[in-house]
Amino acid sequence: MTQRLRIVRLSLVFLFLGMLFTGILGPVLARAQDPNSPHALVMTVDGIINHVKVRFIARAIEQAQEEGAALLIIQLDTPGGLLSSTRDIVELLLESPVPVAVFVSPKGARAGSAGTFITAAGNFAVMAPGTNIGAATPISATGEDLDDTLASKVENDAAALIRSIAQTRGRNEDKLEETVRSAASYSAQEALADNVVDLIAENLDDLLAKLDGLSAETSIGTVVLETRGLEIRSFEKTVLEHFLEFISDPNVSFILLTVGGLGIVVEMFNPGLIAPGVVGVICLLLAFLALGNLPVNWAGVVFVLLAMVLTVLEVVVAGFGILGVGAIVSLIVGGLILFTQFGDVSPTMPSISVSRWLVSGTGGVVGLALVYVVGMAYQSRKQGPPEKASVLTGMRGRVTGELAPRGIVMVGNETWTAISEDDSVISVGEQVEVRSVDGLIVTVFRQNDPDKQDNS
């Protein structure tokens, strides 16, 4: 025992020393790299533009300024995103104290919708061969054209924004406005010829070579770039940002919402289980965190949560399938409209939705589970051993659903459909006693009725 204790102590000492040396040597090694030496900071922004991307870009600009980076390069590949996030990023780029080059890459990438605004807002708009930019016409979240009034409103707003960006950066206002007005889209060569972008570059080295000697207007004045042969440093997302991106996937957020709602409802109907409640709260909080980065339709959230309530009620109350059917319908409807927007929608958001395979699969799993659980409950009650009735007869229980004269009672650990023996109304919470059992229905009487108790 003493030997084991000595090993544990030595392990703790070595662990402490390792952490100490890491803490001391980490900053030393970082300084050895000389973060303030001339370099280009390179980051990758792909997928849907949301609030996570805003924080990511803001952090990159801040670090580039602190480390004295000569240039920040944003490698962009996006189908679009939230208009609010797009505006925030445009503001960051226009006010950046560090020159920013937005590089639509690699080959085959696109700067669609919101990406068009972001590319145009950079000090240098650059595209790789085989990429495209544009198609920023406002559409609904379902991918359909908006009605005339709404289309005019959001289209004019988006057109004014991109015109303003083009004027600030000295690019072709008319061609950029056409990406909003006419859903125009340009290849790299077309965009260069029409002054939508400044350069075409094969890769980062080619980009740095072509930017050398050019000047950029920043929030702190004009900067002349010296980028030929400049050191390239990568700027990566934090673990938290990776996690937020993962849960912000529409399919993941739907699963979190479903599991979270189910866990909380199970805990409410079965107080004391703890685990379902803890898991449910965590999943639901994560779901709401994810939905904050997506154009959520809150009616869809209500339908999904209603489905979870009906699912548990079907099991607890034994609704003979009616509640279960309602649960499946609510779940499917909720999943389908969870990200469907009506009215004033984001003009730069691509069409997103929960996978129909996931929605139908989840509905099917819930349906099969309910069929199994309800079927087992029905068989155990209706075709159980003959002594089942005799066991229940005389047992005391509590009314959980008012008997008027039919309602719900809890006898032992089971919920039963019950009828008051004399057709009287028995309120929720009153104590009752089982008189008889007929299939899935029990006949009860008030426990505090002396006449009934004498006759039992």
Q: What does the pLDDT read at residue 271?
A: 61
Q: Are residues 130 and 70 in the same domain?
A: yes
Q: What does the pLDDT read at residue 17?
A: 62
Report the alpha-carbon angle 160-164-170, nearest 5.
140
357 strand-pairing partners: none
pLDDT class of 244 with cuts at 50, 70, 90: confident
* Of the residues 237, 257, 280, the one at which a domain ends: 237
Q: Are residues 73 and 45 in the same domain?
A: yes
Query: Would the pLDDT of 417 be above 70?
Result: yes
- From the list 93, 131, 137, 92, the residue with the least C-alpha distance to 113 is 137
Q: What does the pLDDT read at residue 450?
A: 46
Q: What is the mean pLDDT of residues 22-28?
A: 49
pLDDT class of 180 with cuts at 50, 70, 90: confident
pLDDT class of 77 with cuts at 50, 70, 90: very high
At 106-157, the pLDDT tens digits run 999 998 888 999 999 999 999 999 999 987 554 444 444 444 444 556 778 8
Q: Are residues 124 and 233 in the same domain?
A: yes
72: amino acid identity, one letter:
L
Q: What does the pLDDT read at residue 135?
A: 75
DSSP 321-355: THHHHHHHHHHHHHHHHTT---SS--TTPPP----
Q: What does the pLDDT read at residue 26?
A: 47
Q: What does the pLDDT read at residue 119?
A: 93
Q: What is the mean pLDDT of residues 367-374?
A: 71
* Of the residues 363, 382, 401, the one at which a domain ends: 382
- From the list 222, 219, 312, 319, the residue with the least C-alpha distance to 266 is 312
Q: Are residues 104 and 252 in the same domain?
A: no
Q: Are residues 343 and 421 in the same domain?
A: no
pLDDT class of 382 with cuts at 50, 70, 90: low
Average pLDDT across the chain, whole number:
79
At 299-357, the pLDDT tens digits run 888 888 888 888 777 766 655 567 778 888 888 888 888 877 655 455 666 667 788 88
Q: Are residues 27 and 40 in the same domain?
A: no
Query: Would the pLDDT of 264 be above 90?
Result: no
Hey, which of 19-23, 44-48, 334-338 has the most confident mean pLDDT?
A: 44-48
- How far is 277 from 255, CA to CA, in rounded Å? 16
Three-class DSSP labels, 104-166:
ECCCCCEEECHHHHHHHHCCEEEECCCCEEECCCCCCCCCCCCCHHHHHHHHHHHHHHHHHHH
Q: Which one has a higher pLDDT value, 309 or 165?
A: 165
Q: What does the pLDDT read at residue 277?
A: 80
Q: Are residues 19 and 39 in the same domain?
A: no
Q: Are residues 138 and 75 in the same domain?
A: yes
Q: Are residues 231 and 182 in the same domain?
A: yes
DSSP 170-207: T--HHHHHHHHHS--EEEHHHHHHTTSSSEE-SSHHHH
Residues spanned by the domain of 171: 33-237
Q: What does the pLDDT read at residue 273?
A: 67
Q: What does the pLDDT read at residue 146?
A: 43
Burial bucket for residue 379 (CB in 10 Å: 0-12, 13-18, 19+): exposed
- Percent over 90 (pLDDT), the chain: 20
Q: Are residues 200 and 250 in the same domain?
A: no
Report the alpha-carbon angle 452-455-456, nearest 5.
90
Token pair of 200, please? 């075409």
Token pair of 20, please? 């100490």
Q: Are residues 167 and 296 in the same domain?
A: no
> Could you give the 3-state DSSP secondary structure of residue 81?
strand
At 205-230, the pLDDT tens digits run 999 999 988 988 888 888 888 888 88
Q: 250-264, 330-344, 374-388, 419-433 — which is least confidently predicted? A: 374-388
For the chain, the domain total comes to: 4
- How far is 111 from 78, CA to CA, in rounded Å? 5
* Of the residues 340, 366, 382, the one at which a domain ends: 382
Token pair of 377, please? 């409950």
Per DSSP, the chain holds a count of helices (H) and strands (E) of 16, 16
Q: Are residues 105 and 246 in the same domain?
A: no
119: domain CATH number is 3.90.226.10
